[in-house]
Structure 1
């Protein structure tokens, strides 16, 4: 599929804008590099350019928190029960093993052979020699000792406590009044009863350590927070932070912020393109306007980048929305200003307060710059917006900060940014108007100045045409306001629509007051050429005077392809062969009106000239003439190519009649005073 040349130009504008925007924003995130080591003196105040986690400090806090977590143990209740059971079984086994039919030696041998606790035959013999009551006493005492030991946790990895507990049990045995052999046997047994009842729980310990680690909030270095002050030595932790922020020469390349910036620039540009293509296709297809829009956006970014050096609150808040509203379209100015606020927020370091003010001033700009008739209106609007900005900024400052002075200072900076934006708009507006040949209301009103060379010539050389142009302007402006068309453009264009008549003003009826009609002495076809040619000459004069294209279009289209009926019929009636007189030779070359403004201009021009020709104008005659002109234009298809509906035509006709009624209303004829005598002057 073949792509048109203007489409390639449009793509080129998009790409250039993306590159320029990226370069401007890149200067906001790139830092100057320094060669520093631990112990070096900081040459400047180093501040964080983004929010950053202090990894070293955070890691130290996590390690401390994890180290503070004690090992977790799980209690085994069976250990105590088993110890008591073994104690009971041991002593009851000795008591119950006595048998009068068997000697103590034989019983001791049997018990020793079991080898359960490593007690010798002599040991068992000594125990069998003790009375049952003493053994039961020993049993109760040892059980009490076991209960006491297990009142506190006996952890498996606490060898010292286990050893102390065994010593406590042997000390209990030493308190018995038994012989040494019996005591040693009991000691051998009781030390086997002391076992840990708390065992290390690896899973619970790991869980608590993880909770401790998660409970630590990362130490955040906020944007613009001072890392190290000028003149202070740089420590290892600060050096690592400076390296992460990209201040050091040996800092590695961090592609993440650059990737994010590329994506942001691309996405916002695509959103703007999609918005224009979807809702304002005429603007999207106009390469010059697309170039103007992206030029202004990048110009606003460049100005913001320069101004933010003083303070992030001094940015050209209303520069872009005001210029786009004046030069392109009101809603385009508001929408694109909101989109570009993302870029401006990057320039200002993502300051929330500034971002809110950018959104607010974008809306206020469209509200106050509704109709600009002179350049002072821009300053007035900027003043009103600055007052609102100051109040809102101050209130936001009180919400976000406890410092009253900082809030007042930032609010004054913000208000100054709005005023400065207005001054910049006034300064750049004429340059942009001339470079891109954009018609603004201000430029149109300057062209409406009667002292303009072309208008002065009309007044002096063709006063009838000048008066006709003024009347056409009044009619067209009133009708345009009714249809919400560009009324100022129509009024000013009406002043210039017949400047081509300056070449031969005497050939046009409105300038023939008290003089002979030169058309009486030439042929109808030559008269037609002279009449039709005033459009071509008017375009040449407009080009030479560098009038805006919109006015030149209205000059070219205000007659469309209308038939010069008077000379056509005259020629046809006087011709020997009427069929040889071709109608197309007596028509204006066109083109037909392409816009509502051009359609209104054609109707106003035709109606004013026709009504002026009525010898004794009355309301009925005026209405009939207006109706006839409208009917002729519609039947001739002159309004087929402009977006004027039948409803619009009806509104225009009613508006014209209303205007004519104020011009041709009946006036009271004042009577003469018949009693008044003529005065006779005395001769001196």
Structure 2
């Protein structure tokens, strides 16, 4: 089945495969989360009774109320008036000009040889006053009033002029607005009538002049008034209907105002909107884009990337389904049962099955999705308390899973996650500032612990299924394979103790070198434990197992010896496959010698003068395909060479390691893996340091007498 599956997958480019998988994952997520973003609507009409207590599902501005309050504030603004100090002077000048014109006309009449008739005198005065009377609408004289001015006593005119000027100047020194002008005109008329010094003959004329002289002294400043109105409007805070605010209680009458608010909030059936659905689509697309970039830029080989992609899609979808189930059950409980969600489940699985980057990203995406799925409708756009709960729990598991060496380490990580969960819940309860009953506090405490335990339990339970379905080699699987009680390792130890010791030494070297270049050190260690398992078929033909000092190769032709030695790679692969060992371990057994040549037996055959087929003295390969296999290739040869060296020291070890690596490079043994020259130098340095620690010079103690 795996063969057919791989054949099907090879029909697509990896980028096409990413798009297909993420598209299916996004669609599943959309339909699962659809119900969590659709708002509840009501089929109600004005003046009905509310079927239930209705709250605002979002915060919106009530524009009608806001405009009403701004209008009220605008109407309360006092207009800005500006007092014109020059007005009094201008109007006094007007009064003086009128009297001066009358005086001039009178003198002009006296200077004439023939005195004009009274009617002619009036016409003359009218002509002289025309410019002023045309510009002053209030200045309207009758003929009799003009006659009175022309016939009045000159001293009387002079005194009246002075009196009227003082009255006008006094009144216009005060602020007079347009709506107060009539009042002030009546006031000056009253004062004129009350003044006994004014000749009654000209009283009406003086009243006309006095009333016309009074005008507004304070003028409306429209620009400043408009600025003040605008500022006042802007200072009015918008009226908002707050999320969670009660719009109408159950059984209350839905009046026009309540109905308007429900319409504004989109809570009526005739006001449904697709905006939340569009938002959900954007949200999911963003998540899928991050996942696409992560896998597209991954440095894993194509098979591992493909497996990691499928595992991530399944684990993420599984997390969404689990959260959806909890959210559906939450309506049946008064407490927040979302805290039961295993916060570190997706993180732990992907940390073990993929890598840390994938685990961190999916933790964040899962938390964001949880914020939408567990959204209560009255708190916020996202349920941030649950989102943060998952982020803290997930990240805690990552930090405490970086050095897992046995299953008990996973249990420790679960305990840490439980502690972090309960700590966050304590923070949540304290910040809520609500009174919780003992039962609720007990539930939340148990929920935090249960979440952590479930994370580990489900991880351990689901891990074998993913490993089996996708042929994955997880950290936990490697830890299991490194157990000395494994049947193959017990077989290696009992039947080939020398090879077992050699394998352990090579494992130490390879693990240190792999970790230095960023490769999988644990895989290298476990691979080393099994790389020479093929030697168990003919233990005595390998020098490390020849305890008696007898070498069976001395009695065999070189070709046969080479065949036996070379076959330990294929024999080992066959034995590993028989025990259903992971492909990565089988590959290391096949590749740890690459296509190198058994030079010792080749030279021995040449010395005997036989016709030689050099291919019979070379390992079948393949050459190392991964960094781990390349490191083991070097470490295997280096350990054997240094172990056979007499009196090893730093210089000898360094020279030997360098020559072995150069020999492998010249033989093109690393052409099919992505190990670089820079990494080979790092490997050389680490191997030398590790070997110097193992084969250090010992102090020679004095012999006892």
Once the two structures are TM-superposed, the CA of residue 421 in structure 1 deviates from its matched residue by 4.3
Structure 1: distance between partners of 2:156 and 2:54: 84
| 1:248 aligned to which of 268, 290, 295 | 268
| 2:400 aligned to which of 368, 372, 387 | 368
Alignment of 1:606-625 (within 5 A): 606=637, 619=647
Q: Deviations over 1:583-602 (max 9, x none)?
A: 11232211122334223433
Once the two structures are TM-superposed, the CA of residue 261 in structure 1 deviates from its matched residue by 4.4
Conserved? CA contact 1:80–1:146, under 8 Å: yes
SS of 2:597's partner is coil
Tell me the residue number matched to 2:227.
Answer: 207
1:111 aligns with 2:125: yes
Structure 1: distance between partners of 2:701 and 2:175: 120
1:535 aligns with 2:595: no
Structure 2: distance between partners of 1:87 and 1:625: 124
Structure 2: unaligned runs, 5 residues or longer? 1-9, 134-138, 331-335, 376-380
Once the two structures are TM-superposed, the CA of residue 556 in structure 1 deviates from its matched residue by 1.9
Once the two structures are TM-superposed, the CA of residue 427 in structure 1 deviates from its matched residue by 4.4
Structure 2: distance between partners of 1:294 and 1:466: 45
> Are residues 260 and 432 of structure 1, via their aligned partners in 2, closer, same or farther at CA, if it must alter by over 3 Å?
same
Alignment of 1:162-561 (within 5 A): 162-177=181-196, 182-255=202-275, 257-274=276-293, 277-278=296-297, 280=299, 282=301, 286-304=305-323, 309=330, 310=336, 317-334=343-360, 337=363, 349-350=381-382, 364-385=396-417, 387=419, 421-455=455-489, 458=491, 463-465=494-496, 468-469=499-500, 471-481=502-512, 483-484=514-515, 485-500=519-534, 532-561=566-595
| 2:66 aligned to which of 39, 58, 65 | 58
| 1:122 aligned to which of 124, 144, 147 | 144
Once the two structures are TM-superposed, the CA of residue 338 in structure 1 deviates from its matched residue by 5.0
Conserved? CA contact 2:15–2:296, under 8 Å: no
Q: Deviations over 1:150-203 (max 9, x none)?
A: 4555444x3xx4433333233233324568763333333333334344445444
Structure 2: distance between partners of 1:154 and 1:193: 13
> Are residues 604 and 185 of structure 1, via their aligned partners in 2, closer, same or farther at CA, if it must alter by over 3 Å?
closer
> Are residues 27 and 146 of structure 1, via their aligned partners in 2, closer, same or farther at CA, if it must alter by over 3 Å?
farther
TM-score, normalising length from structure 2?
0.75
Conserved? CA contact 2:350–2:358, under 8 Å: yes
Conserved? CA contact 1:45–1:228, under 8 Å: yes
Conserved? CA contact 2:569–2:590, under 8 Å: yes
Q: Deviations over 1:479-501 (max 9, x none)?
A: 42255253432332233334445
Tell me the residue number matched to 2:670.
Answer: 640
Structure 1: distance between partners of 2:156 and 2:434: 85
| 1:587 aligned to which of 589, 603, 618 | 618
Structure 2: distance between partners of 1:352 and 1:131: 97
Tell me the residue number matched to 1:90.
Answer: 98
SS of 1:560's partner is coil
Once the two structures are TM-superposed, the CA of residue 371 in structure 1 deviates from its matched residue by 0.8
> Are residues 299 and 522 of structure 1, via their aligned partners in 2, closer, same or farther at CA, if it must alter by over 3 Å?
same
SS of 2:183's partner is helix
Once the two structures are TM-superposed, the CA of residue 654 in structure 1 deviates from its matched residue by 5.1
Structure 2: distance between partners of 1:150 and 1:329: 91
SS of 1:191's partner is helix
> Are residues 668 and 500 of structure 1, via their aligned partners in 2, closer, same or farther at CA, if it must alter by over 3 Å?
farther
Tell me the residue number matched to 1:674.
Answer: none
Once the two structures are TM-superposed, the CA of residue 214 in structure 1 deviates from its matched residue by 1.5
Tell me the residue number matched to 2:7.
Answer: none
SS of 1:369's partner is coil
Conserved? CA contact 1:468–1:609, under 8 Å: no
- RMSD of aligned C-alpha atoms? 4.9
Conserved? CA contact 2:642–2:648, under 8 Å: no
| 2:610 aligned to which of 578, 592, 598 | 578
> Are residues 49 and 504 of structure 1, via their aligned partners in 2, closer, same or farther at CA, if it must alter by over 3 Å?
farther
Conserved? CA contact 1:469–1:497, under 8 Å: no
